[in-house]
Amino acid sequence: MDIKKTKIQYLEYLEIEKNRSQKTLENYGRYLDRFFGFANISNPGQIDDELVRQYRLHLNRLKDADGNNLKKVTQNYHIIALRNFLKYLAKRNIPSLAAERVELGKQEQREVTFLEPDELNRLLNSPDGNGLDALRDKALLATLFSTGMRVSELCSLDRDRIDINRGEVTVRGKGGKLRLVFLSDGTKDALRNYLGKRADVDEALFIRIPKSKIFLKDSSLRLTPRSVQRIVGKCAVKAGISGKNVSPHTLRHSYATDLLRNGADIRSVQAMLGHASVTTTQIYTHVTDKQLREIHKKYHNKK
């Protein structure tokens, strides 16, 4: 069994059977190519414990373009891709190393950047005026914070997918999974103001606005994730938020933090964020540690 041909079949399996995104296919292809380039093997049966051990050492000592070691989380992405490839081999009864024998390395806890209430208030209110661009930016920021959706999910939203009156949005997340997210009253008002000003017929909920203000029928106006990043960054500067790299994902972090601080349980937050595993959601629990000081002060050593 030729391993390069098997890799192509695996990526096709991810695309068709697992409905993985093009970005995921690109990443998995790149990670597996790195493994095959290191291993220099011709068939899956040559993958064994020792080869994986040597590969992990290789990843740990590998330098990026800036001369830095790969982060532990990046190393684990490579190992996850390899492990999932091995699971696919087992599914097809192709002899190779059992995926269960490949463990992920312990990685450092991810640092979560989120906004404090005063910063968040300044950011959400930074777009001013009644121009279409200001109304769009205000609605965009409010939607990101009200729903906690990923920037890719926001960019893929169509106007007919959002029910403003009910305050609900059906989001298609990773792996094509659907989940329901909700709009605050302020977000509903911002969206009504923005959509009421739209004169185009583009199906996208959030669009770029031509400098000429003339909308051509045949051109796609849908915002890209990079465009949304620029909008959020511009508004953060205008809001005077310094010392933090504010991105669309910062609003997602702020959304989760806000829910947990106000008493939401971790499983509910997991569902609203669209996380497949509660382990991913647990990165947010440490941001509520400030409350622990108050609890300690209130309840400890009161005799």
Where are the domains positioned within the chain? 3-101, 117-293
Average model confidence (pLDDT) for the chain?
A: 88
Which among 248, 152, 140 is positioned nearest to 194, based on CA atoms? Answer: 140
Q: Which of 114, 177, 116, 98 is nearest to 148 (CA)?
A: 114
What local confidence, expressed as pLDDT, does residue 266 receive? 87
Q: What share of the chain is helix, strand, coil (3-state, %, to 5)?
A: 60, 5, 35
Decide yes or no: CATH 1.10.150.130 for domain 3-101: yes
Residues 139-150 have a mean pLDDT of 96
Is the pLDDT higher at 107 or at 112? 112
Task: Return d(Cα 142, Cα 127) in angstroms, integer.
Answer: 11
Which residues lie closer than 8 Å to 187 by C-beta, 6 or more apart? 139, 142, 143, 145, 146, 147, 167
Q: What is the mean pLDDT of residues 98-115?
A: 79
| Selection from 153, 149, 122 nearest residue 138 by Cα | 122
Is residue 290 predicted with pLDDT exceeding 80? Answer: no
- Residues 37-63: pLDDT tens digits? 999 998 999 999 999 999 999 999 988
Would you call 128 helix, strand, or coil by DSSP?
coil
- Domain 117-293: assigned CATH number: 1.10.443.10
Active-site amino acid positions:
150, 174, 249, 252, 275, 284
Q: How confident is the model at residue 26 (pLDDT cuts 50, 70, 90)?
A: very high
